[in-house]
Amino acid sequence: MKYLSLLLLAFLVHQAPAQTTFDHHWKWNNNDSRLEVDLEGDILFARDYRSVESMSRDALIRIERRERRRDRDLKIERKGGEIVYEYRREGKRIPYDQAREEIGDFLLSVVRDGGLDAERRVGILLEDGGVSAVMAEVRLVESGSGAGRYLSELVRQADLDTDELEEVAALAASHVPSSGDRSRLLMLAADDFQGSRATESAWMKAASSIPSSGDRSRALMRAIDAGMNIQATAGIISGIPSSGDKTRVILHGLKSNPSPDAVAALVNASQTISSSGDRTRALLAASPHISESSAVRQAFVSSARSISSSGDKARLLLRVFQGDQLSQDVLIDALGVATTISSSGDRARVLVAASRHVDGEAAERAYLDAAEGISGSSDRSRALRALISGS
C-alpha cells in the first residue's frame, strides 16, 4: 500500500506543476533577530526551493532579515519576461550571479521555516527520500508553525506505519511549541493513531504536553470521537488545569456510549475537578451509569463525597434517588454520601427522597445513620417520618 502511494506521488509530482497563489505576510521576532516575509501572486518555486521557476506579472517575493551582525534583503519579481533577483547584504546590492548559492540558502531557509508551499514541498520530499526525508526536514525547521505544517501534510499524504506515527507524535511535542498548532496537528492525525496501543500511547503523550487547557481538551474530545481508548484519555483529563475544560471532556466521553470500565475511568477523573459546580455537572451526567458496575459506583461515591457544596451534593443525590429501580447497594452507598451533607435542610430533603427505596435492615441502618447527624430537630423529624411512612 505504501509503495503504491509513493508511486502515485511520483506520478503527480512529475506532471507539469502549477503555480501556487500566495497572499502571505509573515513577521517573526526572536531576541536580536527579525524576519519579514511577503509573498503575493502566482509563484512556482524550483523543485529544490532555492530559486523561482515562474511567477505571474503581479507576483512578488520580499524577504527582510535583520540580525545582530548580518542584515539581508531579497526581492524577487518578474520584469518583462525575466525573473529578477535583487539581493542586498548589509545594504549593499550583490549581483545574482555572485550570490546564487547564498540566495538559494536564504530562500530555502525562509520557505522551510515558514512552512511555505508545504503541500507541494512535502510531496517532493516524499518522492525523493520518503517519510524519513520529511522528518529530517522538520528537525531543521526553526519555526513551530512551519514544523506543524510539514507534519500535517505528512499525515495527509503518507500512509505511516507505527514507528513513523510515534515519531510524528514525538516531533509534535518537541518541535511544535504552540498549543494551538500542536492541538490542530494531533486532531488532524487522531484517526491515523487510533487502533494501536503503541500509537495511541504516543498520541496521548504528545497531547498531555499541550500547555493550554482549552486546546488540550479539544484534542482529547477529538481522540474520543476517533475511538481511542477512553481509559487512557481519562488519565490525560486529570492533568487539565481548568475545571470547566476538564468537565467538558468528561461530558463528551460520557456521550460516546462508553463501556462500564470507561465510565469508571471518567468518573475517577472527575475527582480532580476543583469546582463544586463543575464536578456536580459531570456526576449528574454519569449518574445513569451508577449501577453498571461496582467500579463505577465506587468511583461515583468517592467523587461525590468530596463535593464541597451541600447544595450541589444534595442536587446530585436527589437525581440518583429519582429513579424507580435503585439497587440496595447503590442506595446504601448514596446514603453514606448523604452523611457528608452539612446543611440540615439539604440532608433532610435527600433522605425524604431516598425513603421510598429503603428495603431491608442494612439500608434502614444507613438511613438512620444519615438522619442521626441532622442537627435541626424539625428536619430530623421530617426525615424519620418519611422513613416510617415509606413516602
Give the pLDDT confidence score for residue 12 in this predicted structure. Answer: 46
Contact, 228 vs 190, CB < 8 A? yes
Contacts of residue 234, defined as CB under 8 A and 6 or more positions apart, other chains included, come to 250, 253, 262, 265, 266, 268, 269
Cell of 112: 522551510
Task: Give the global pTM.
Answer: 0.86
Give the pLDDT confidence score for residue 70 in this predicted structure. Answer: 83
Q: Mean pLDDT in each 10-residue stretch from start to end of the chain (391 residues)?
A: 51 60 83 88 96 95 88 94 94 95 96 93 97 97 93 98 98 96 98 97 97 97 97 93 97 97 98 97 97 96 97 98 90 97 96 95 96 94 92 50
Give the pLDDT confidence score for residue 1 in this predicted structure. Answer: 52
Give the pLDDT confidence score for residue 15 in this predicted structure. Answer: 52
Contact, 278 vs 247, CB < 8 A? yes
Q: Is 91 helix (H, G, I), strand (E, B) or coil?
A: coil
Where helices occur in the chain by DSSP H, the ranges are: 2-14, 100-114, 118-129, 131-140, 144-157, 162-175, 179-193, 197-208, 213-226, 230-237, 243-254, 260-270, 276-286, 294-305, 310-320, 328-338, 344-354, 361-372, 377-389
CA distance 28 to 162: 35
Contact, 44 vs 20, CB < 8 A? yes
The string of DSSP letters for 298-324 reads: HHHHHHHHT---HHHHHHHHHHHTTSS
Give the pLDDT confidence score for residue 19 in this predicted structure. Answer: 79
CA distance 100 to 114: 21
Give the pLDDT confidence score for residue 365 in this predicted structure. Answer: 97
- Strand 60-66 vs strand 52-55: parallel, antiparallel, or unpaired? unpaired
Let me know the angle formed at the C-alpha of 185 by 153 and 227, rounded to the nearest 5 degrees: 110
